[in-house]
Chains A and B, each alone.
Chain A
C-alpha cells in the first residue's frame, strides 16, 4: 500500500527505452545498444527497489496499484506482487541486461550459425527486446486476470519478430510454429477467462477480473461454479500454460524456437516466457480451480514425469547444441510442474526456486553456447573439440553452468531440485522416484556435451578460438555468481517465496483481499486471521534453514 507506483515504473522503464530507441535516427542505430543496456539496468534498479519495499511477512499482495481501465467489462489496471511474482520479476530484470550485453552484436552479425539473411536492424532488435521486457514484467505483476491475459498474448508478438527476423536458417518456420502453438493455447485460455467472468457475474462475488478477490471468493464459497464448469475452465487455463511451459506433449515448438532464435532470444524464451506457464499453473490454475486441480493432478503428474524423462533422453540424442539445451529445459519444466502439482508446500517452494534457478543456469548455458557458436559458426556438437585448451575461461564457465544445470550440490539448482523431489515424495513417492532418474540423465547429457566439445584433441577449426572477451565475461559473470550465492544463501529467495506459498497453498487457499481496497478487509477472514486458523505446519523456517 505504497503511494509510489513501484511496479508501473519498473514495467514502464523499458518502454521508455523503446521510445528512445525508436526516436534514434537511422544512421545512429548502433546507439540502440547502450540505450537498451542503460534502461534495462534502470529497470533492474527499480526491481531491486520493489524487493526492498516488499515487506516479507506482510500482506500477501503488496505494492498494489489500482486504476479503472475498461469499466464495461469490470477490467481494472491492477498491479501487485506476492513473493512468487516478486522473485520472477527480479529474475527477469537480471536476465534482460545480461542478454543485451551478450547479444551486443547479434542483430547485425547473427549468431554465426547461418548465412545472414533477413532484416538486420539494430534498432528493431533492441526495441523489441525492450517491449518484451515490459510485457514480461507486466505478466508477473498483473493482478487483474484480463490484464494478465492481454499481456500473456501480446508478448508473443515481439518474441515472434525476434525469432523470425534475427534467428537462424529456419527462423521463419520456427517463429510461426511458436506463435501458432502459443496463440492456440492463449485463445483457449481466453474462452476460459471469459467463462470465469460470466461465472463470477452470476455469483455473490459479482463481475470482476480481480484475481485476489476471485481467489478469496473460491475459498469462501462465493463463486457458484459447478464441478463441470470448473473443470472445463481449468482445462482452458491449464492447456495454455502447458503449451507455454512447455509440458510434454505440447513441447514441440520449443526446440525449434529456441534452436533457431539467437542465443539471447532463446534465453528469454526459455528463461522467462516459459516460466509464465509454470507461474500461471501455480497461481491461476491451483487457486481458482482447486477442485479441478485435484481431479486432474494424477494425469498432470504422469505427463510431467514423462516430460522429465523424455526431455532428458531426447537431449542426450541431440547433435545440435541449442536444441540439446532446449530439450534439457523440457526435462526441467517437467520437474517444475511436478513440484507445482505435488500440492505440498515443500514441492511448490521448490518449484518456485527452480523457476528462478533454471532461468539463471540455463540462461548461462545458452549464452555460453552462443559465444562458442559465434566463434566457430556451427551449432553442431561434432564441430567442436578441445576448446578447453584454447579457451579455458569459456570452458570453465561452461562447466560451471553445466554443473548448475545438473543440480550439483552447492549450486542453487540443487536446493530447488531437492525440494521438489522431497515435496513430491511426501505425496507421490512413485512419481518422485521415477523423476529422480532424470538427475542421472542430466549428468549424462551435460557431461557428455562437455566432454565432446571441450575436451579431447583440439580440432583444426577450434585452434584460432579467442577466449571470452571482457563484454562476454561481464555478461556471464553475474549469472554464475548468482548461481553460487543462491546455492549457499537460498534464504534470499525463500524469505519471499515461503509466505507466498503457504498462503497460496491449495489445501488452505487463503488469499488476502486486495490491500488497496481496505473496505474489503471487513469481510470475514482477512489474511492474518485465516493464517492463524490454518492447521498446516508452517514450513517457512524449515525450508529457509534446511541445509
Chain B
C-alpha cells in the first residue's frame, strides 16, 4: 500500500471513526540517494536566495557535483540490498532501481560538467543572463553586460535529477506521477533559458510544456482507469488483503476494457517521455531549441529514467497481460525505428539530426522491452548507460563549434572541421560510429544484446527492421563524418572553442567509455545481468 493511498484510506477510515491515522513507516536509509539529491536541490535554492551573486556560480556548481557524488556513494552503499519495496510499498528498491539510479547520477555528473562550462564563451555559460528579460530588450543587454548568470539552473536540475531517481523506482502510479512531474517541470524551464536564439528556445520550452502537460494528463487518466480496474494503484502487492495491479491482472479481474484503456493511456504518457513514435513530435524542436548542454543531459538522463519507469510498469504491473501489450509495443518499436531513421535522413541541423537519432535509439531499446525476459532487461540496462554517455559526449562536441550567433549547428558549416580541429571531429566521429553500430564501440554491444534478446523471445521481425534502420542510420551518421573529414574547410567557417578542463574531462570520459565498453564490455554486462531483478 502506498503512502498516498494509505492516507486516503486512513482519512476514509477516520470519518467512519473506526481507526486512527497510522504514521507511515519510511525506510529513509533505502531512499538516501533521492534524499541527498533533493536536499542538495533545496540547499541550492537557499544559496540562490542568500549568497552574493559573485560566488553563486561556484557554490552552486560545487554543491551540485558534491550532491551527485554523495548520492552515488549512497547508491553504492545500497548495492547489496535485496529487492524490496519501501515506504509502504510506494518505492521499489531493487537491483534495477539501483543500477538506473547509479547510471542517472553518473550521467548527470558528466552532464553538469558540460552545463557549467563558461570558457567557450568568455565567462558566460549557455544560459540567458536573466530568464525573465525580454529577448532583444535593454534589460537583456544590461544583465549580459553586467555578467549575470542564471545560476537557478543548478537547483532546478537537481530537482529534475531527484525526480529521475524516483521515476524508475516508483512502485505505484501516484508516486510515479509525482516523480514524472518533478522531473519534467524544471526541465521545461531550463529548456527555455538558452543564451542565444532565445525565441527558438522559449518556443521549444512552451512546446515541451504543452505537449508534456498533455502526456501527463493521459498518464493520469490511465492511472485512474487502472485504479478503477484493479482497485489499487500499487504495481504489485503480495499482501492478499490488498492486492496490487499485477495481482488483479493475473487474477483476471472484471472490466478488461478498463484495463486496456488504462494501459493505453498510461503507455502514451510514458512513451511520450522516452520519445517513441508516434509521440515523438516534441523531440526535434525541443532538442534544437534547448541550450545544447541541457539537450545532451535530457537526451541521456530523461531517457534512462523514463525507460526505467516503462520497464517497471510493463514488467511488474502488467506482466500478466503481456499478450495484450506486446504486439502494441512491438508496433511502436517498428514505427519508432522507421520514423527516426527516415526523418533523420532529411535533417540539415546537427541537433535535429541527433534528436531523430535519439528517437531511433529509443526504438532499439523498446525492442528490449518487448522481450520481457531477464535477457531483455539486462540488454536495456546495458544499452541505457552506454547510449547515454555517447549522446552526452556528442552534444558536448556540438557546444564547441561556434560562430558569432552561438553554436554553428547547421551541417554545412561543419565542412572540413576534421582538418581545422581534428580532436573534436575525431571524438564526434567516435560517438557517431558508435550510434551507427560499428563494432568495438559500446552501442554495438548494446545493439547486439537487444537483438539477441529479441531473437530469443522469437521476434525476428523486430531484428530485421532494426537492422535495416541501422543501415539507414549509418547513412546520416556518415554524412557528418564525410562533411567533417572529406570536405574542404569553409573560408569563414566556425571557430572551435577551447573548452575548460572539465569539459575536456567529460569528453575524454565519454569517448573512453564508448570505446572501452565496446572492446571489454564483460564487466558492465555482468553487472547488468546481475541487476536485472525487479521487486515484484
Contacts and interface: CB of A to CB of B under 8 A. Distances in A.
> Is B a genuine binding partner of A?
yes
Contacts of A154: 438-440
Given A197-B452, A198-B452, A187 B470 contact: yes
Interface residues of A, number: 37
Interface stretch (B49-57, B268-276, B522-530): B522-530
A118 B486 contact: yes
A183 B521 contact: no
A175 B486 contact: yes
Given A72-B525, A183-B471, A187-B470, A176 B482 contact: yes
B308 to A, nearest CB: 21
A191 B460 CA distance: 9
Contacts of A175: 482, 486
A164 B464 contact: no
Contacts of B467: 187-188, 190-191
B474 A72 contact: no
B42 interface: no
Contacts of B451: 190-191, 194
A198 B526 contact: no
Interface in A443-492: none
A153 B438 contact: yes
A350 B418 CA distance: 45
Contacts of A176: 475, 478-479, 482
A86 to B, nearest CB: 24
Interface residues of B, number: 38
Nearest to A197: B452
A172 B418 CA distance: 14
Given A194-B455, A195-B460, A184 B471 contact: yes
Contact of B437 (A70, A171, A187, A201): A187
B441 to A, nearest CB: 9
Interface string B509-536: 0000000000001100110010000000
Interface string B415-456: 000110000000000000100111110001100110110011
Interface string B451-485: 11001100010011001101100110011001001
Contacts of B445: 70
B437 A151 contact: no
Contacts of B485: 119, 161, 164-165
Given A165-B486, A180-B471, A187-B471, A71 B526 contact: yes
A93 to B, nearest CB: 23
A38 interface: no
Q: Chain A interface mostly helix, strand, loop or mixed? A: helix
Contact of A150 (B440, B474, B525): B440
B142 interface: no
B521 A157 contact: no
Contacts of A161: 485
A280 B463 CA distance: 23
A149 B467 CA distance: 15
Interface in B144-161: none
A73 interface: yes
Nearest to A164: B486
B487 interface: yes
A455 B61 CA distance: 77
B488 interface: yes
B522 A70 contact: yes
A69 interface: yes
Nearest to A171: B486
Contact of A198 (B436, B440, B456): B456
A117 interface: yes
A313 interface: no
B373 to A, nearest CB: 12
A71 B522 contact: yes
Interface in A179-226: 179-180, 183-184, 187-188, 190-191, 194-195, 197-198, 201
Interface string A118-155: 11000000000000000000000000000001110110
Interface string B306-332: 000000000000000000000000000
A194 B452 contact: yes
Contacts of A149: 439
B344 to A, nearest CB: 15
Contacts of B436: 183
A168 to B, nearest CB: 12
Contacts of A119: 418-419, 485
Contacts of B482: 164, 172, 175-176
B30 to A, nearest CB: 28
Interface in B219-241: none
Contacts of B452: 73, 194, 197-198
A117 B445 CA distance: 36
7 contacts: A118-B486, A119-B419, A154-B440, A172-B487, A176-B482, A184-B471, A191-B451
Return the 10 tightest CB-CB contacts between A and B, nearest first. Answer: A150-B439, A72-B525, A172-B486, A184-B471, A187-B467, A198-B455, A154-B439, A164-B486, A153-B439, A191-B467
Interface of B: 378, 418-419, 433, 436-440, 444-445, 448-449, 451-452, 455-456, 460, 463-464, 467-468, 470-471, 474-475, 478-479, 482, 485-488, 521-522, 525-526, 529
Given A172-B486, A194-B451, 12 more contacts: A71-B526, A72-B522, A118-B488, A150-B439, A151-B439, A153-B438, A153-B439, A172-B487, A176-B475, A184-B471, A194-B448, A198-B456
